[in-house]
Amino acid sequence: MTQRPLHVVNAGLELTDEPLPEVPELDLALSLSRIEALHGAAAGARYRHFLGRALAAQPGGDRDDLLTLATLAAWRAGAVAFRTDALRRLDAALATDTVRIPTLAAALGLPEHSVAAFAELQRGSRFGWPDLVAGGLVAVVGGFRGLFGPWLTPAVAVLAGDRPGTFLIRTAASRSGTAPAGADESTGSGDAWLLTVDVFGHTLTRLVPEETGSHPLAARWAEAGLSSSSPDEAGAPGATLQLAGYTAYLRLPEVAA
């Protein structure tokens, strides 16, 4: 069965239509349009939700405080590329107390008492989240194109990427057997996709044939299977991606016995 993409941390999230206030220091509407352009309207709605609630919890603040809250909200909304900067700003805010804990908690959608624990978990793994348990589901990615996913054919092979939170996925060749002009022939068949994922969001981009052919992992397709583990930030075994037809399930590692 194919499933729509989701991240477990967003399950049950009731988005409020938070108005973004006008602040003289920054153009918040512009930041919203950037998130929507990068990750779509759903991520934009989450960004508005988390940033609106954070600003409501602590009106005012200087430009740097606002940048911190906007970056945390962007990351929390699913914009993976902001993780490094958001985490650095979170650590700085916790260390200097420039932004109050309730405000940070609102920006991240966490209870106040979990903010410090969350920061500690994230230092070890990008999938750290207080409510996630070992072996638990983190995210569902992929999906059939007719049901809001990117794939026309099932995913058939996965390899761990060269960076934490990255996977290389190959989908099956077209059922019609006809390859488009630019189809990747270096892998024999199908298309190659790069998944970049963390606890809040993911990007799934098709590698163009020139990239696939020269990709350092391309030579490893032969050893690819239906599941693979990507190392975490500390170099330990991280989350595992399991392929099942059109859908890929990302789970936390089991606790070592």
Partner 1 sequence: MAQGNRWNKVSASPTRTNGATLPEELTAEDLFTEAPAVADTALDEKLRQAYFWLVNRAVISPFYDVEFSAGSPVTFALGDAGAELNLPTDQSYSSNVLLPLLTFAVGGRCLLVGGPGRGKTTLAILMGVLAGSSPREVRRNVQQGQPQITVSDLVGMPLPRDLVTAGSLAEIEIAWRSWLTQPVKIIDEYNRIPTKTQSALLTMVAEGYVESHDQMHSTAPESGVESWFFTANDDAGGGTFPVIQALRDRMDVTVAAQGFNNRFFDELVARVEAGERPEDHLPAELVFGPDEQRLLEAAIRAVPLPGAVRRQLEFFASHFEFVQQGGRRFEYRTKDTVRTGGGEVAETIEANSGADLQVDLGSQTTNSLSVRSLQTLIRYAKAMAYFRGRPVVGLDDLAAVLPFALRGKLLPNELHPRFDVGADRELATDSISWLADLFAESRRQFTALGLAASDPISDALDLFNQGLDGVTSAQAASRLTGIESLISGIAKQGKLYGRHFDDLLALKYLHQRYTNYVSWLGFSG
Chain residues binding partner 1 by CB under 8 A are 26-27, 30-31, 34-35, 37-38, 67-68, 70-71, 74, 79, 81-82, 84-85, 89, 150-153, 171, 173-174, 176, 178-183, 185-186, 188, 191, 196, 203, 205-210, 213-214
The CB-of-239 to partner 1 minimum distance in angstroms stands at 18
CB of 34 to partner 1, least distance (A): 6
DSSP state of 250: E
Q: Which is nearer to partner 1, 39 or 251 (CB)?
A: 39
Cα gap 106→68, rounded to integer Å? 12
Nearer to partner 1, 82 or 118 (CB): 82
Minimum Å distance from CB 83 to partner 1? 8
For residues 70 and 28, what is the distance between their CA atoms, to the nearest angstrom? Answer: 8
Geometric angle at alpha carbon 60, from 54 and 61, rounded to 5°: 85
Q: Is 81 helix (H, G, I), strand (E, B) or coil?
A: helix
The least distance separating partner 1 from the CB of residue 86, rounded to whole angstroms, comes to 8
Nearest residue to 7 via CA among 151, 161, 136, 110: 136
86 vs 224, beta carbon nearer partner 1: 86
Residue closer to partner 1 by CB (options 16, 214) is 214
Task: State in angstroms the smallest separation of the CB of 1 from partner 1.
Answer: 21
**Residue placing its CB nearer to partner 1 in the complex, 12 or 177:** 177
Scanning the chain, the segments in alpha helix (DSSP H) are 28-39, 41-57, 63-77, 83-96, 101-108, 115-124, 209-214
SS3 content of the chain, % helix, strand, coil (to 5): 40, 20, 40
